[in-house]
Chain A
Amino acid sequence: MNNSAPILIFFTSIVILLAILTALRAELTRGRGGKILAFVTLAVLPSLAVWAGAHEQLERSTSTKFCLSCHVMHDFGQSLYLDDKAYIPAVHFQNAFVPRDHACFTCHTDYTMFGDYRAKWRGLHHVWVQYLGKIPQPADIKLYTPYNNRECLHCHGGARKYEEASSHHKNPDMLAQAASNKLSCLSADCHDTVHDVANLKDNTFWKGPN
């Protein structure tokens, strides 16, 4: 629960109370003032409460806790704590290159106009599979489409460390190829070790921030 949740719960409780009072004293709507009051308590305030609730729920659905609440994602959460710099997600998580409380969403959303909503739509499918479908083994979970460099370059693009790294100049147009998605950042011999949940058991883990 984040900081705004208690305020939202309080506000929604007030709206519930007003809606019930309006329902119990419906005869008040015979007068003009009562009609206006009923419109506020039964239309305006509930709409506001739903809008605020939807915003809160969407915000929560981007949290690491939310993503890892399904058992099948446990190993992916564990991979963030791998004590091995070769693992890209672990390096990003442990060094706070991504916000730790939104780690999954930061890398697994499309940075496009409707990327957040596309991610939510896929999330609905995941919930369906979790409760009504056949749950795959963690190691069998794959991305829908090859990982788009756009998601890496959203942060790294234009960064000096990224542009001046010698490994990014093995050939003259490497950066241009990465920018146009012709060469994946996750290519073999580049940043090719990602979650690799099939091999977690043989590793040591970071204990987390103090």
Chain B
Amino acid sequence: MATPIERRIRWSGLIIALGLVIQTCTLFWTHPLAFMAFLLIGCPVVAAGLLFYLYSLVSRHPAGTEAD
């Protein structure tokens, strides 16, 4: 059974991966729209995943839900 922190880590990992996939796609095209996609979609998605991961580290959990 996954703990709340593990669920958050799972989501943050997937969000970061999604953002990086978008960034990778923009690297195949030299065009202002690729630049904009990198800046306005890829970067915010990765940043959101990263912040969610950091939040999962500092957030409090109800007693007994933490595994270790």
Chain A interface residues toward B at CB < 8 A = 1, 5, 8-9, 12-13, 15-16, 19-20, 22-24, 26-27, 29-31, 38, 41-43, 46-47, 49-50, 53-54, 56-57, 60-61, 63, 65-66, 69-70, 123-124, 126-127, 130-131
Contact = CB atoms under 8 A, between A and B. Distances in A.
26 contacts: A1-B28, A19-B13, A23-B11, A23-B12, A23-B14, A24-B13, A26-B9, A27-B67, A29-B9, A38-B9, A41-B13, A46-B49, A47-B50, A50-B20, A50-B43, A53-B27, A54-B38, A54-B43, A57-B35, A60-B30, A61-B32, A65-B30, A66-B35, A124-B36, A127-B32, A131-B33
B63 interface: no
A131 B40 CA distance: 15
B2 A50 contact: no
Contact of A22 (B13, B20, B35, B42): B13
